[in-house]
Amino acid sequence: MATSSVSKGCFVFKPTSKKRKTLSAEDYFTDGSENPENSRLRFQLFQSQWQDMKEEVQMVHDDLNKKILDSLLEFIGKSVASFQSRAVGWESRMRASEIPTAALVLGVNVPDHDVTFQSLSDLLRESVSPFVASVQAKECGALQHLMKKVMQQLMGGGVALDEDDAEEQSGYQISDLPRKGFNCSLGILCDWYQNLNKKSCIKSPGKKRSSSGSDFPKKPPLVVIFKDLEAFCPQVLQDFIVICSQYIQQLPLVFVFGIATSPSTIQRMLPHSVSSLLCIELFQSLSCTQHLATVIDKLALFEHFFGQPLSVLCCEEEEALAQVRQFSHEDVEKILQLPSIMRYVEKQEPQEQVKLLTSDDHVKVVTQNLLKDLCSYHRNFYPILRCLHLLTSSLPKFPLGKQIRELHVLCLENNVWESEEYESAMQLLRMLAKDELVAALQKCVEVLQPGMTKKLKEVVHQLKDIIAKLKMLDQLSDETISCEGEQESSSGKSLQKTDLFHLQKTLMEMRETRRNKAKTPYEVLRNHTVDYLDSLVKMHLLPPESQPLYEVFYYSSSATVRRHLNATPRTSIQTALSHPHYYLQSEALKSEGGTISKAAPDICIIYKLHLECGRLINLYDWLQAYFTVTAADGQDPDSAEGHVDEMKHARFIRAVSELEFLGFIKSTKQKTDHVARLTWGGCQT
């Protein structure tokens, strides 16, 4: 009787039920903190601020897409109207034989194309047609795959019929849907669409059944969105367009091409015989610099709340004042250690300095007053900043920048009125025509009116007074022009035929006379207006560093944000290979004194061993060092008997291959059993 060896059995090992604990974002704030409650409060404030920023980001994103999405909806609506009208003119017949196509150029820097296409699909299903198909190149490698994907989405679009078919959830049977092995063709789609329109009018699935009238046109269009046009196979796309053009008289098809590079992609992918079947209209997306600014703001926000214990005051004014009253002695010490508070204390009288350095209660009272002053500074700073931007953003060559963020940076860093750009802007403002100056001042009044403080109310009153005076100068300016004309004519009569010396002398006298000539009323008022605006800038646009307690609200470590934004893959890889316990969150992998933990991943062990080598690394010596590190008791028993552990040998080869893939080593022709080292100066512990 034959018996089977037990060694050939299949054994199952159940994984351990213990799960490695992963740290949450809140744990990073509180881990190792001297005051966990303070850290927890800072984390809650950070989450609140982050949520507000996310909502603002979404609003910015919606604004960026709103105009282009509205244009697309209008284009598709016109296409539907032209399909239903079926005019008899030659041009209309030519248009009727073409497929309406929207070429949507989104650009390669748009953060997420899927969000844009999802918004477009939702809007189309709500207001234009329930039949929307969205396809990607990776799902449509062949024509039959593309055809099946389109038919599944169009025929599977949830639609609700009128009250006669109220119990049905769609205008088709499940058996009508394309299945595996089913021969998909547009003829089937055409029959399905015509039968659906004969049965009933189509309504939106999100609307109530009791609503009267239809939500969509009698024959809603069939919209096909190609998300990534460049990635599609040109031949598949050409065949699909040619087939669709044969059914354009029966099916109101509309295409949307998602283009990331350039509109010339269409010409490159489609020959003239195919592109002539399309009626293409170009749609260009807006600039997306706001997204980059938002990412930077988020990084700075996280770093500020994580590294600044006093960021607990980054909340509403009343909440911040209440928080100050609850400060402990340690919190008061942190306030006194702020550089801006140290400068503030140095400027006080000796008696006041003693109180600030000895009485916690007095520090709390002063801190509350400084917080109120800082909030008042903010309420005046940003409206005046927007006014200055309105006045200077339309000047030639944009001396203070075209975007408000450029002017904001100038005001945050230094006294903006001391810069050459500011002086140039003021000179250009002194040359503005009356109409331009009046229009700019009126915009400033509109900016300042919402939520005015006492100081801003005075500013608005002054600006309105200046605008009224400028409007009253029409009659005076006409009289001034006539007087200037008489003076110029009299000056011209004084020029008589003479020699070169007397001519130069006369011209110099005339230039001096014009320089000392009295200015017109408008020039006087314009100079007065610019001087008043200049005084507002010097009063309200002081840099934040001039305000005590500014460190609580402002994050100034640009080097940290720059380190996060600037990609340094080599440094990151070296850090991960040298300190794997940081990335894997395992204290068992932590090593001290430059030693190598045998529990570390193989590639980390190989990397640390290669740091000890020179330009050329002997593979056999490297392998023996690896065996030594990974041995249980410091000596590999297999090696002692003259055998090589095949499993460890394979792990070594794989780790070396991974290190070569990362670019740390390469094979060399100098010695076949050696590899060349490519990097130097490993990550220091």
Domain ranges of the chain: 41-155+218-307, 308-477+519-552, 569-633+645-677
Alpha carbon distance 158, 171 (integer Å): 8
Cα–Cα distance between 143 and 239 in angstroms, integer? 7
- What's the pLDDT at 157? 47
Hey, which bits of 202-274 come out as E strands? Answer: 222-226, 253-259
Residue 265 near residue 230, CB atoms below 8 Å: yes
- Across 362-444, the runs of DSSP E, i.e. the strands, are none
Classify residue 619 as exposed, middle or buried by CB count within 10 Å of its CB (0-12, 13-18, 19+).
middle
Please list the residues that pair with 254 across neighbouring strands: 223
Written as one string, the DSSP assignment of 223-234 is EEEES-GGGS-H
Residue 338's SS3 state is: coil
Q: CA-CA distance, 611 to 684, in Å (whole number)? A: 11
pLDDT at 168 (0 to 100) = 42
Asked if domains 41-155+218-307 and 569-633+645-677 share a fold, the reply is: no
- The two tokens of residue 144 are 């039959």
Architecture of domain 41-155+218-307: 3-Layer(aba) Sandwich (3.40)
pLDDT for 632:
58
- Looking at residue 172, its pLDDT comes to 40
- What parts of the chain have a pLDDT lower than 50? 1-9, 11, 88-91, 93-94, 157-181, 205-214, 481-495, 637, 640, 682-685
Rounded Cα–Cα distance for residues 80 and 67 (Å): 20
Q: What is the pLDDT of residues 363-409, one digit of tens each?
A: 999 999 999 999 999 899 989 999 999 999 888 888 988 888 888 88
Other C-beta atoms closer than 10 Å to the C-beta of 225 total 21
Helix (H) or strand (E) holding 99: strand 99-105
**Strands lying side by side in the sheet with 665-667:** 616-618, 674-677, 665-667
Total residue length of the chain: 685
Instruction: Tell me the sheet residues that pair with 256.
Output: 102, 225
Name the 3-class secondary structure at 203.
strand
At 678, list the tokens: 């490519």
pLDDT of residue 488: 46
CATH for 569-633+645-677 is: 1.10.10
- Taking CA atoms, 678 is separated from 254, 332, 488, in Å, by 55, 53, 80
